[in-house]
Structure 1
């Protein structure tokens, strides 16, 4: 491991990342901790039935991303020149799952001695059942992402995969290998190439075209798995052009749409201001505008997370039974 990678690892460990491999890490989510103390839960629990106290926040691609998004809170300065050939070996899927579960259990051990901890939840947290593959970096850059998802799924756990859509061929691989995640998120933050380039700062010259291909794939996956299009709302940037957003939705046809406010934290504070972080009322007003221009309707919201859930209709299988 070279000096830059060691520095990245040191910085992230100070931010409470726990590495479980060469390029794989977990981090205990704020909502996992809050849930254990009965102080709220993640919007994914409200929207989809995912128990926050049994969720592992993980990435097999820490330090890997093809975009330099202005809203990203992560240490993106370590991502832009990183390639897997700088590592002596690639983390194996089964090892990732085993080590992630062990690390999650170890990191939550201290909650057992906290009088504010709900005891039953703490006992259940020792056996996580959900993997949110979205902690840091672009997970589809991990060359064995299909095998990782298949491994997690084979153990009876659920998988939520978040992608920026820059590798549509990897999404095709998930389909072709029968390794679809329980829920696939596609992050879409602009209605046109000019705004896309301004927000995402992509490294690929054909990044916009790659995103379009991924949108078409998400549409084709609708009968294969649960699909979500997520908009990170940045005030002053992408909270206009409702007609353009309606066209994007028509093309992508996700089962769900998440409209979520950008949060002024981490590395993004060097590129944006607090004024760019919308309050929930702003997010709700934008969602209502999208509702007027499309066939997607507001079905739920979680104000504390500044997120609104939209869908073309209510689905019987909206809530997972895991």
Structure 2
């Protein structure tokens, strides 16, 4: 009887992630977001708190597959040079072990804040117990075969107020499974980086054949899901921001029919600096202009924005949900 190999990070990749202040368990990872840090010293909050009511200090941003992805996006600021193709023949860690161990790792990463006089100690103690889980840190989480159990564990055992899942849309079967098995997240995101197939190949640099078709299928799956849905559009100045692309963007938006659209600038940080220049960032005025212009092509209203994150929020006029998540 053959023994299945276990999916794991290489020692080189581990060192890279640890140096970047990730907490690791097996093939999974957690990191303290800069907005969590700012929230602890009352220097601002993440746009998700402003838009949706998510507490920045109680947010746990993590991934079940730290360096396994279907794409190699030019704008990704994660350690893309270490990304791997997912091997479904290998054993993966159970959701329960991932969550419990990453919560411990997150707490270790936050302990240093206790010695900072600027930190609200009561807020820090509250932050040790996360109630918002963003499955979005790096890699492609829908490749993780036990994703349904992971989301259920967060909701049922960790009493999550909210669970956000961000996907690149390359695994539509996984989204169908979440729907079929009734384990959808509170809010599902599909990342949109291109208006058409040619630009998608240039910007997202997919590793698998038929990537544009798979992306389109994920948009179709999103349309009608019984959870909050968002298209997150990453705007890269000079690559995908021209008005000649807006009609194609509108077709994608109508196909997915999301409740919300986030229009966000590419940020010139991390590994992406090897691929793009600072001039590829959009300023906040440009982001707002793109958001308002999009509303002329689709039945969405300009709803909110956050200058410190260079992002704006558009709301579907026929949307099923209010902006703030009521629990």
With normalisation by structure 2, the TM-score equals 0.93
Structure 1 segment 171-320 matched on structure 2, within 5 A: 171-221=175-225, 224-240=226-242, 241-313=245-317, 317-320=322-325
Q: CA deviation at 1:296?
A: 1.1
CA drift of 1:3 comes to 10
Number of aligned residue pairs: 317
Residues of 1 paired with 2:321 and 2:82: CA distance?
42
* 1:121 partner SS: helix
Pair 1:79-2:83 in alignment:
yes
Does residue 50 of the first structure (1) align with residue 83 of the second (2)? no
Q: Which runs of 5+ in 1 are unaligned?
A: none
Counterpart-to-counterpart distance in 2, 1:82 and 1:167:
12
What is the aligned counterpart of 1:64 among 68, 73, 95?
Answer: 68
**CA shift for structure 1 position 164:** 0.4
Question: Equivalents in 2 of 1:298, 1:4: separation in Å?
Answer: 42
CA distance in 2, matches of 1:60, 1:3: 11
The whole-number CA distance in structure 2 between the counterparts of 1:2 and 1:321 is 38
Q: Which runs of 5+ in 2 are unaligned?
A: 1-5
Residues 133 and 237 of structure 1: is their aligned pair in 2 closer, same or farther, counting only changes over 3 Å?
same
The structure-2 alpha-carbon separation of the partners of 1:315 and 1:39, relative to structure 1 and needing over 3 Å to count, comes to: farther
Using the TM superposition, name which of 270-279 and 112-121 deviates more.
112-121
Moved over 6 A (4+): 1-4
Please state how far the C-alpha of 1:59 moved relative to its aligned partner: 0.4
- After TM superposition, the structure 1 stretch with the greater mean CA deviation from structure 2, 36-45 or 282-291, is 282-291
Deviations 1:106-147 (A, max 9, x none): 221222232101233112102110111010100011111111
Alignment partner, residue 145 of structure 1: 147
5 Å matches for 1:7-18? 7-18=12-23
Name the counterpart of 2:116: 114
- Using the alignment, how far apart are the partners of 2:29 and 2:250 within structure 1? 36
What residue in structure 2 maps to residue 34 of structure 1?
38
State how far apart, in whole Å, the 2-side matches of 1:33 and 1:95 are. Answer: 26
Contact 2:71–2:205, Cα closer than 8 Å, also in 1: yes
CA distance in 1, matches of 2:294, 2:241: 10
Residue 270 of structure 1 and its aligned partner are, at CA, apart by: 1.2
Please give the alpha-carbon distance, in whole angstroms, between the structure 2 residues aligned to 1:91 and 1:4: 12
TM-score (norm. length: structure 1): 0.94
Provide the secondary structure at the position in 2 that maps to 1:292.
Answer: coil
Quote the residue 1:23 is aligned against: 27
| Cα distance in 2, alignment partners of residues 187 and 3 from structure 1 | 26
